Homo-oligomer: A and B are copies of this chain.
């Protein structure tokens, strides 16, 4: 069993099939001493999936982070299916630890098993192959990154320079270190696993807490490296809106993401 599958297992809290699921937040996906937000999201969506059979793919998921997660601690996810439909179902969920909600989400779940040719799409950008891109390192960021033992992330060395003026950007490659193929759930994690794009503009400004993250998934990814591109042109009053896209190894656009995060600008309290 892959590390990601093992670390996102959720079990019904009661044998009668109630709305609560229990799991464990592994410390292996930490950024510093906090669990990565994308990883916490995958735990919650793994629970949502159990309540939307035949619709296991998050077509659109929006999560608000309320408090930092606690690594190496149990978690409980409570799921409420708000509407069950033929092509999509909508659910809300909260993830709690030690009796406090850590995140709340809304998700539209569907089935991306049979994808057709897109009418409009965004082609994969042309960046150097993974072997020519340096690995994301903890040193450059001033914080320990245990998650890098699970994820192999290679950063385009000229991403910042290649970006349009007025835009901070990071891009590169991502895959699980243990060879597990990416899937819909993994895309939620990959959408929040690159360094914040503002680092390319401001340098490593420390923790950039995510307030809200929305991911739209359009198809399931093919096996192999995924390419991620994340950028922002909206940084104001200590809030940044970062956009992202993920392509799979066939060049197909698989997911789009957007997040609101807080940035402590140099020179401010």
Contacts and interface: CB of A to CB of B under 8 A. Distances in A.
A127 to B, nearest CB: 19
Contacts of A120: 166-168, 201, 232-236, 240
Given A59-B260, A120-B232, A105 B106 contact: yes
Copies in the complex: 2
Nearest to A114: B237
Given A118-B235, A120-B201, A121-B233, A258 B66 contact: no
Nearest to A216: B241
A120 B121 CA distance: 26
Majority SS of interface residues in chain A?
strand
Contact of A237 (B168, B212, B218, B234): B218
Nearest to A252: B236
Contacts of A101: 82-83
Contact of A122 (B83, B90, B106, B234): B234
Contacts of A121: 166, 233-236
A119 interface: yes
Interface residues of A, number: 50
A260 to B, nearest CB: 5
Nearest to A92: B104
Given A64-B108, A106-B105, A239-B218, A265 B92 contact: no
A236 B219 contact: yes
25 contacts: A59-B260, A60-B260, A62-B106, A62-B212, A64-B108, A108-B260, A112-B237, A116-B237, A118-B234, A118-B236, A118-B237, A120-B166, A120-B233, A120-B240, A121-B166, A121-B233, A121-B235, A121-B236, A122-B234, A214-B214, A214-B258, A216-B260, A218-B234, A219-B236, A256-B258
Lowest 6 CB-CB distances: which A-B pairs, in order?
A62-B62, A118-B236, A120-B235, A119-B235, A60-B212, A66-B83
Interface of A: 59-60, 62, 64, 66-67, 82-83, 88, 90, 92, 94, 101, 104-106, 108, 112, 115-122, 166-168, 201, 211-212, 214, 216, 218-219, 232-237, 239-241, 253, 256, 258, 260, 265
